[in-house]
Amino acid sequence: MATQHSRLAARFMVAPSVGFLFVWMIVPLVTTVYFSFLVYNLLHPERQGWAGFDNYYYFLTDRAFLTAVWHSVALVVGVLCITVVGGILLALLLNLPFWGQGVVRVLVIAPFFVMPTVSALVWKNMFMNPVNGMFAHIAKGLGLQPYDFLGHAPMLSIIGIVSWEWLPFATLILLTALQSLDSEQQEAAEMDGANWMNRFIYLTLPHLTRAITVVILIQTIFLLSIYAEIAVTTGGGPASTTITYLVAQQSLYGNDVGGASAGGIVAVILANIVAVFVMRMIGKNLDA
C-alpha cells in the first residue's frame, strides 16, 4: 500500500504539525532578525529607527567578543573530551558483571537529573568554595593552601561542573551501545590472538563510533547554550563569558535589545557553522 496515494495521505496528515513547528521556529527567528537591525534600547525609548548593520558592527568589534568565542570553544571541546573519554571508561566498567550493578548504574545516572542551577550552586558552595568547600578542607587536611577554583581558573572549573552533569548522559548512551556488542566476535578475536587492548581498538571502538557520534552531536547543541552554570558560579566576567552569556548580558544588563538580537543572530550563524562542521566530520558514521 506504499503507493502514491498513501504517501500523499501521509503528507497531508503530518502537514499540520510540520506547519506548526515551522511557525514555532520562524516567528522568533524573524523577530530577532528584525530587532537586530533596529536601534532598540530599553533605557533610551526616545532613540528609535533603523540601525543598519551598526548592532552587528558593535557586537563583533566588542573586545569581549573574540574572548567569548574562545571560551565557548573551550567549554564545548573540553566537556566533549572529558565526557566521551570518561563515558567510555565508565561504560566499560559498568558493563562488567559485579555485585550491586543495578544500584551503581542508577547512582551514575543521578547527576543528569539535578537541575543545572542546583548542581552549579552545590559545586560552587559545597566543593569549590575556598573557605568552606570540601576541596578546601581536604587541602587544609593535607597541609596545602586551599585553591580558589572559580577565582583562579573559572573556565576550567565550569568545564568540570558541566562535565560532571553530562558524563551520565554519555555513559548511558555508550553503555547501551556496549551491551549490543556481540560476545562471539569478542571470543573470535580472543582466539585470533588479540589481547584486551587490541580488542578494544579494533572491535569495541569501531562498534561505539555511532554512539560516540550521537553523544558529540547532542552534547554540542546543548553545550553551546550553557547559561545557568556560568550565571550561578562566576556571573560571567572577562574570564568566563561565552557567546551565549555575552548575548544575555547585552539584553539583560545593557537593556540593549537591538544589540542582543544582533549577538543572537551571530550566535545562530556560528552554531550552524559548527553544526555543518561536526556533521561533515562525523555525520557519515550515522548512515553506516
Partner 1 sequence: MGQITLNAVRKCFGEVDVIPSIDLRIEDGEFVVFVGPSGCGKSTLLRLIAGLEDVTSGGITIDGTDATELPPAKRGLAMVFQSYALYPHMSVRKNIAFPLKMAGMTPEQQEAKVQSAAKVLNLTNYLDRRPGQLSGGQRQRVAIGRAIVREPKAFLFDEPLSNLDAALRVNMRQEITELHQSLKTTMIYVTHDQVEAMTMADKIVVLNAGRIEQVGSPLTLYEHPANTFVAGFIGSPKMNLITGIEAEKLGATTIGVRPEHLDIVDSGGWSGVVGLSEHLGSDTFLKVGTKEVGTINVRAGGGITLRHGDAVRLAPRPGKVHRFGSDGKALS
CA dist 250 and 114 (Å) reads 28
**Closest approach of Cβ 86 to partner 1, in Å?**
24
Query: Can you list the alpha helix ranges (DSSP code H) found in 37-153?
Result: 54-61, 63-94, 101-109, 116-122, 134-141, 149-152
Binding status of residue 207 toward partner 1 by CB under 8 A: yes
Span from 109-117, 182-190, 241-249, 263-271 in contact with partner 1 (CB under 8 A) = 182-190
By beta-carbon proximity to partner 1, the closer residue of 7 and 284 is 284
Q: Which is nearer to partner 1, 3 or 180 (CB)?
A: 180
Query: Does the protein bind partner 1 through residue 192 (CB under 8 A)?
Result: yes
Question: Of the candidates 191, 253, 280, 287, which one interacts with partner 1 according to CB under 8 A?
Answer: 191
Q: Is 197 in the site for partner 1 (CB under 8 A)?
A: no
Q: Using CA atoms, how far apart are residues 239 and 217, in angstroms rounded to an integer?
A: 26
Q: Does the protein bind partner 1 through residue 206 (CB under 8 A)?
A: yes
The single residue among 24, 141, 193, 196 that binds partner 1, judged by CB under 8 A, is 193
Determine if 202 is a binding residue for partner 1 (CB under 8 A). Answer: yes
Question: Given the rule CB under 8 A, which of 50-58, 92-100, 119-127, 193-201 is the region that contacts partner 1?
Answer: 193-201
Chain residues 129-148 in contact with partner 1, contact rule CB under 8 A: none
Backbone region of residue 114 per phi and psi (left: phi > 0; alpha: psi in -120 to 50; beta: other values): beta
CA 2 to each of CA 12, 13, 16, 17, 269: distance values in angstroms, whole numbers, following the listed order: 15, 15, 21, 22, 39
Mapped onto helix, strand or coil, the DSSP state of residue 49 is: coil
Please, what's the b/e burial string for 55-70 (b: 16 or more CB within 10 A of its CB; e: otherwise)?
bbebbeeeebbebbbe
C-alpha to C-alpha distance for 190 and 28, rounded to whole angstroms = 56
Where do contacts with partner 1 occur on this chain (CB under 8 A)? 182, 184-185, 187-195, 198, 202-203, 206-207, 288
